[in-house]
């Protein structure tokens, strides 16, 4: 049975090798059916098509309008920081393509147009890749919602390729900071190294996050990036910071005046005292996560639990812990033995 006149069919091959067909009322029109059959015979197919064509054809959808629709949709980034970054890049995208209809991305040549746009940031590989990431996320959403039947910007080549598994805060680095920095900076470094939390999660830690366990205490934290609940053992160093927090202070970490920290101030405060201590400019607040990974292994977590908590691959988690154990004088061969056991035990 032939398809009704005007129906636009798009075939997509799944990872399993099975093909699925997406049917649109017209090219660029609303999607009304999805099937594994190239020419569906289900009577409901024709009912759905009839309902779809009753809708008035939309005006030509321009790229800025597509961006606005996405930023107002449930698919937009949930975390405030992530949404701010997403909005910044997509508004740049909308400005560059402000005179273009969204359907240009159904044409193969649009891949080159998108690469030309993001090449504005080729001097900064990380920004260059970020531009492409946000644009492709927008286009994927547009296809899912039926605003586009397809696009040709998948798997854009990336410039930014860095392995930071060998960038870690050693015990000597922490001692150098603690010898100079004010208490509020020392507390940030300690909590970051003991928990492995990202800056956005560190600044929200409260004493209400502390839970008692049969063997001690732990932190229960819902992370910003993935929305998952992490249970983090409280080490003695972390316990000292928590217990030294004034009773009338809810937040565990604050700025110099005792007010609420921002991610930028936490990172910048540590950076300033890192420079005053003469430490490597490569060290950032994010790199405390390598120290934490080692602490968590010593606390009894499996390699897979650590990788899940950090949002890393097993291989990266293993590399970070192995490097930390080799360069940090306060870690013994026992860490490497534990790491080897974790690998043999299937992580």
User: Shortest CA distance to 339 belongs to which of 307, 309, 311?
Assistant: 307
* Interval 108-162: pLDDT, tens: 889 999 999 999 999 998 899 999 999 999 999 998 888 888 899 998 988 876 5
**Measured between alpha carbons, how far is residue 83 from residues 75, 94, 121, 145, 258 in Å?**
11, 16, 20, 20, 28
The structural domains of the chain, with segments of one domain joined by +, span: 8-54, 63-144, 171-344
**Measured between alpha carbons, how far is residue 296 from residues 30, 81, 159, 245 in Å?**
50, 27, 33, 23
* Interval 192-205: pLDDT, tens: 988 888 898 999 99
* Farthest-apart Cα atoms in the chain, separation: 80
Residue 219, helix vs strand vs coil: strand
User: Shortest CA distance to 342 belongs to which of 309, 294, 310?
Assistant: 294
The sheet with strand 19-24 has its strands ordered as 8-13, 19-24, 31-35
pLDDT at residue 333, rounded to an integer: 60
| CA 52/CA 50 separation, integer angstroms | 5
| CA 177/CA 262 separation, integer angstroms | 20
Positions of the chain with pLDDT under 50? none
| CA 52/CA 54 separation, integer angstroms | 5
pLDDT at residue 236, rounded to an integer: 87
| CA 256/CA 171 separation, integer angstroms | 24
Length of the chain, please?
347
pLDDT at residue 44, rounded to an integer: 92
User: Shortest CA distance to 224 belongs to which of 241, 245, 200, 195?
Assistant: 200
Phi, psi of 46 (to 5 degrees): -75, -30
CATH of segment(s) 171-344: 1.10.443.10
| Token pair recorded at residue 307 | 């990788």
User: Shortest CA distance to 287 belongs to which of 160, 193, 154?
Assistant: 193
User: Shortest CA distance to 231 belongs to which of 243, 242, 220, 246?
Assistant: 220
| Token pair recorded at residue 313 | 């691959």
pLDDT at residue 58, rounded to an integer: 57
pLDDT at residue 330, rounded to an integer: 59
pLDDT at residue 335, rounded to an integer: 61
pTM score above 0.75: no
Residue 16, helix vs strand vs coil: coil
């Amino acid at each position: 049975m032939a398809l009704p006149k005007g129906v636009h069919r798009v075939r997509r091959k799944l990872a399993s090798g099975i093909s699925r067909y997406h049917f649109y009322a017209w090219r660029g029109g609303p999607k009304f059916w999805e099937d594994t059959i190239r020419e569906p015979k289900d009577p409901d197919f024709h009912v759905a098509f009839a309902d779809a064509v009753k809708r008035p054809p939309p005006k030509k959808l321009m790229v800025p309008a597509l961006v606005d629709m996405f930023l107002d949709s449930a698919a937009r980034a949930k975390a405030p920081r992530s949404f701010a970054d997403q909005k910044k890049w997509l508004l740049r995208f909308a400005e560059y393509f402000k005179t273009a209809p969204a359907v240009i991305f159904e044409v193969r040549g649009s891949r080159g147009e998108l690469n030309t746009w993001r090449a504005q940031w080729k001097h900064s590989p990380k920004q260059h890749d970020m531009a492409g990431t946000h644009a492709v996320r927008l286009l994927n959403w547009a296809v899912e919602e039926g605003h586009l039947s397809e696009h040709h910007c998948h798997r854009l080549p990336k410039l930014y390729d860095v392995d930071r598994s060998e960038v870690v805060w050693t015990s000597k680095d922490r001692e150098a900071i603690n010898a100079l920095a004010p208490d509020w900076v020392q507390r940030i470094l300690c909590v970051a190294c003991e928990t492995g939390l990202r800056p956005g999660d560190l600044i929200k830690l409260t004493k209400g996050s502390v839970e008692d366990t049969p063997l001690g205490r732990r932190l229960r934290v819902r992370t910003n990036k993935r929305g998952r609940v992490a249970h983090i053992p409280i080490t003695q160093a972390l316990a000292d910071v928590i217990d030294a927090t004034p009773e009338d202070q809810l937040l565990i970490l604050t700025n110099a005046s005792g007010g609420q920290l921002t991610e930028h101030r936490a990172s910048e405060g540590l950076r300033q005292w890192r420079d005053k201590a003469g430490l490597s400019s490569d060290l950032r607040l994010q790199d405390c996560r390598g120290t934490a990974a080692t602490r968590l292994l010593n606390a009894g977590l499996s390699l897979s639990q650590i990788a899940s908590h950090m949002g890393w691959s097993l291989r990266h988690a293993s590399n970070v812990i192995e490097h930390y154990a080799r360069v940090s004088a306060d870690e013994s061969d026992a860490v490497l033995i534990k790491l080897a056991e974790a690998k043999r035990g299937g992580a």
